[in-house]
Amino acid sequence: MHTLRQIPIKQKLVIIIMVTTAAALITAGLGIVIADSLLFRGYLRRDLSATARMIADNSTGALAFNDPAAAAQTLVALRELPHVIGACIYQPDTRVFATYSREGRVDCPPAQRGDGVRFVGDRLTVSQTILLDNRPLGTLILSYDLTEIGERIRLYGGTVLSVLLFASLLALLLSARLRTIIATPISHLVSAATAVSQTGDYSIRAQKLSEDELGALVDRFNEMLAGIQSRDNDLKNALHKVDQERERFHFLAESMPQKIFTATPTGENDYLNRQWMEFTGLSFAQMQGWGWTQFIHPDDLEANLRLWRQSIATGEPFRLEHRFRRADGKYRWHLTRAHAMRDESGNITMWIGSNTDIHEQKEKEEELRRANDDLRQFAYSASHDLQEPIRNVAVYSELIGRRYAEVLDEDGQQFLGFLRESGRRLATLVSDLLAYTVASMAELCETAVNSSAILENARETLAGAIRENQAIVTHGELPEVHMGAAHLHQVFQNLIGNALKYRSHAPPHIHVSAVQRGGMWCFSVRDNGIGIDPQYNDKIFGLFKRLHHDRTLSGTGIGLAICQRVVERYGGRIWVESEPGKGATFFFTVPANQPLSFATGQSSAG
């Protein structure tokens, strides 16, 4: 069976056809021989019985007249039957009465009673009672040579064998020709499959030679190849595109002044552009994986690793300002940004990042911060120290006015009036400046305050002006915010104070409300005052910037600058929407949650 499995399908087909044909022919031949043998025996039994009866009938006379010669004469008729080898007629007392022998030697078996046919060895004996008027006169026994059956079997066997040989020969010839009908399409299919697997060329097709199941198999095989070919082409195109993209990326990364890197989803650096090697003087092999940690400033390393691991775990963008050691050993500040690239299922496939040298910018920022601190300190000290002499100017001009009123002529009185007014304005200016510098320097507040309570305080502070102006101050539902109470108080006070100051003829109506937008609360302070020309919407937040110089509308131009300074320190912003004559609405945002740090950016004031 094992060897049968290994032989080619062509030979298998021939063997199958031959074995099947031989089995069918042998079965049919055996069937014919057996059937013929059985039929022949039946026929022989009937034929011999009839012959025996006929001989018995013809022998009655001879027995009745005791004439053995006549009986022998009757038996001679058996010569016509070549296989009857002998016959014996017995008298009732079993003595042999007459005999017949084909060969000349009579060998009479013992007489039997009763009629019957018996097969004994290679002989068949027929016993027939000879009757006259139903009275037994004797018995006839015929002996038949059964070699005829053997001859017949041999004849049939020979015939069957010849037919078998001929048929097998014919089957061999026919199968040798007909097997190609099945074997050829299969070998084509095998050759095509072998060629595809050896060359990897999916444009090869198997030749279809028939419309049967093999034809259908070839069609499906070719369709399969076409499908693979198209997918193979798509894959090749996609790979080509990926290669092109990679080349483009590398070209871009190599030609950029910035340092560029990519990392695996687990954070190992797997690409660093040329600028990295030039900057650090290290090879890619030294920096790849986590090798980059060796050139991070020791003071920045812990935060760097913590943030990078956090980004890898969460997929959030990475951003950090830190110092890298240059080839000459000097550290330079860099801004590193990295973003995760994801596939369609949202899984991170790689990290791509840039490192921008911000050393000069960082140094300038530091210089600027120091200068601003100095300036703020100077403004604070100056405004603080100036308060004392200004107060003296106010006190002594008041004293002069009271004690020397009679001595002063009209001009003197007028000059004293100018002096008092200037002193008063100087005092307001200095106190506003002090408030501005305090707003710039105040510490971050960590606790939440109730903004509606703060608004109430501001309203109480402005109670006199509200009453004088017959103003109405209303508010909607106000939230808790993470902001210093004094800071929020100052913002409300400045905005409501301005709404009262820049009122129209109608009694002022001021409404304060707040809505949440993302992570911020957006407050609004709306009034029905004189409004602002939109072209000045930004300008009015600058330090000392005023639109109305009317003497009745006194001011220093610092109030809105203070508001902006405070709001920006908390990471928010302030702006106005207004039209002249239609009132103004001031908006400002503050974080809904605790701010992470004070904004260090410069105020646009000044």
Task: List interacting residues with ligand ADP (CB under 6 A).
Answer: 494, 498-499, 502, 527, 529-532, 540, 545-548, 555-561, 584
353 or 559, CB closer to ligand ADP?
559
Q: Which amino acid is at 539?
A: K
Nearer to ligand ADP, 86 or 555 (CB): 555
CB of 527 to ligand ADP, least distance (A): 5
Least distance (Å) between residue 595 CB and ligand ADP: 24
**Min. distance of Cβ 544 from ligand ADP in angstroms?**
8
What is the SS3 string spanning 265-292? Answer: CCCCEEEECHHHHHHHCCCHHHHCECHH
Phi/psi at 599 (nearest 5 deg)? Answer: -70, 135
Half-sphere exposure of 434 (CA within 13 A, CB side): 13
Question: Shortest Cβ distance from residue 538 to ligand ADP (Å)?
Answer: 11
Least distance between ligand ADP and beta carbon 459 (Å): 16
Question: What minimum distance in Å lies between the beta carbon of 425 and ligand ADP?
Answer: 11
Q: Which is nearer to ligand ADP, 41 or 546 (CB)?
A: 546
As a whole number of angstroms, the distance between CA 444 and CA 591 comes to 13
Closer residue to ligand ADP, CB minimum distance, 185 or 555? 555
For 284, other C-beta atoms within 10 Å of its C-beta total 15
Residue 511 to residues 192, 526, 527, 584, Cα–Cα distance (Å): 86, 5, 7, 11
Q: How far is the CB of 390 from ligand ADP (least distance, A)?
A: 18
Nearer to ligand ADP, 160 or 496 (CB): 496
Measured CA to CA, the distance from residue 506 to residue 517 in angstroms comes to: 33
145, 181, 318, 458 from 298: Cα distances, Å: 125, 82, 19, 49
Q: How far is the CB of 568 from ligand ADP (least distance, A)?
A: 15
Which residue, 120 or 472, has its beta carbon nearer to ligand ADP? Answer: 472
- Whether residue 100 contacts residue 89, with contact meaning beta carbons closer than 8 Å, is answered with no
Helix (H) or strand (E) run with residue 595 in it = none
Q: Which is nearer to ligand ADP, 143 or 490 (CB)?
A: 490
DSSP helix, strand, coil percent of the chain (3-state; round to 5) = 55, 20, 25
Q: What is the 3-state secondary structure (H, E, C) of 528-547?
A: CCCCCCHHHCCHHHCCCCCC
Tokens of 257: 């002044």
Distance in Å, CB of 556 to ligand ADP, minimum: 5
User: Rounded CA gap, 153 and 148, in Å?
Assistant: 9
Largest CA distance in the chain: 216
In contact, 489 and 458? CB cutoff 8 Å: yes
Nearest distance, CB of residue 483 and ligand ADP, angstroms: 20
Phi, psi of 93 (to 5 degrees): -90, 20
Q: Which is nearer to ligand ADP, 451 or 494 (CB)?
A: 494
Judged by beta carbon, residue 473 or residue 584, the one nearer ligand ADP is: 584
**Beta carbon nearer to ligand ADP, 88 or 562:** 562
Considering beta carbons, is residue 273 or 556 the nearer one to ligand ADP? 556
Smallest separation (angstroms) from ligand ADP to the CB of 575? 12
Which of 140, 110, 144 has the alpha carbon at shortest distance from 128? 140
User: Cα–Cα distance between 560 and 562 in angstroms, integer?
Assistant: 5
Angle subtended by helix axes 213-255 and 147-199, to nearest 10: 20
Residue nearest to ligand ADP (CB): 555
